[in-house]
Chain A
Amino acid sequence: MAKVRALPAEDDQPDRWEAQLRKGALEMAALASLWQGRLYGLEIIRYLEDRSRLVLSEGTIYPILNRLKAEGLLASEWVESVAGHPRKYYSLTVAGRRRLRLMAEAWTSFSSGLSRLLEPVLEKQEKLQ
């Protein structure tokens, strides 16, 4: 089946392109935030905000967590907190850890290849400035 990636007109909208790129990486980022242990939604959002500027709207992360759980990559549990209400904690399942490792490998080789490709583009810009 033919796959058309984008209309030429969309190339002129870097903001939208960047938004889609961030959104696409959010699933992997959410999984990565749980590598060291369980976190609840707001902690995941803060974690991602601190380390990357991925989160566009705080609402987007919750449906993604829901989907990753439905796919069996995450497990969740409600834990009572000192704040007086329970919080929903997420953790990686065995399948989730395996998937994240594969994603990390694919991403690293993809991004280093792309960075090499983009080197001349950024060099030229430096000379112009």
Chain B
Amino acid sequence: MNPEMPIESYLTTLRLHLGPLTLAEREEIVREIAAHVRDSAEESGASVESVLARLGPAEELAAQYRDGLLIRQASRSFSPLVLLRATLRLATKGISGIVVFSCGVFGYSMGGGLVLTALLKPIFPANTGVWFNDEQLVSSGVLFPAPAPPAHEILGMWYIPLALTAGSLLLLLTTFAIRRSLRVSQRLQSLL
């Protein structure tokens, strides 16, 4: 058997799974790993197979590079989709990842929900708002039917700026909280 065969198939698998990286980065990684295998085999006299075994499966090696890239990109991103995707990846790695992911989903849905109700207020003015009954909160949001008297809506059109502000703040807070935890997780490799 051709001794180059196992290394060629290893590098092909590696290249294949490095998909999201740029072509230049991908080729540089493959070149570096190829040099490692050659040097390591020559230096120790070990077989190429055993050197490859010490490197670990090509898919796993590629996944470590991809995770690094995903989290690096996300920690600079403002897109909820990119951020949630990165935290979802973290969530598969341990309990702190799951906590970050759940908080992210909660923050985005609450924030997005508040903004949505603010937009719905002009369309359903009687059904959107915050209802009180004798200083006690009855309900809030967009409700069909609206709570019956004696519960009464207290904010009127003030609901719009208030819900918009609260919703946007929550979205921003969630974004920065996720970015912060991603940066921390980069330092704490234990999460990855």
Give A residues with C-beta under 8 Å from B: 1-7, 20-21, 23-24, 26-27, 40-42, 57-60, 62-64, 66-67, 70-71, 83, 85-88
Contacts and interface: CB of A to CB of B under 8 A. Distances in A.
Contact of B95 (A6, A23, A59, A67): A6
B54 A60 contact: no
B68 A41 contact: no
Interface of B: 28-29, 31-36, 38-40, 42-43, 54-56, 60-61, 64-65, 67-69, 72, 95-96, 99-100, 103, 177, 181, 186-190, 192
B186 A67 contact: yes
Nearest to B192: A23
Given A24-B188, A59-B64, A70-B72, A41 B32 contact: yes
A6 B68 CA distance: 22
Contacts of B38: 83, 85
A42 B99 CA distance: 37
A57 B56 CA distance: 7
Given A26-B189, A58-B55, A4 B95 contact: yes
Nearest to B187: A27
B32 A20 contact: no
Contacts of A71: 72
B190 A57 contact: no
B35 A7 contact: no
A4 B99 contact: yes
The 3 closest A-B pairs by CB, nearest first: A63-B64, A59-B56, A20-B190
B40 A42 contact: yes
13 contacts: A1-B100, A1-B103, A3-B96, A5-B96, A23-B192, A24-B189, A26-B189, A59-B55, A63-B61, A66-B65, A70-B72, A87-B35, A88-B28
A60 B54 CA distance: 10
Contact of B39 (A5, A21, A87): A87
Contacts of A2: 99, 103
A70 B68 contact: yes
Nearest to A25: B189
B51 to A, nearest CB: 8
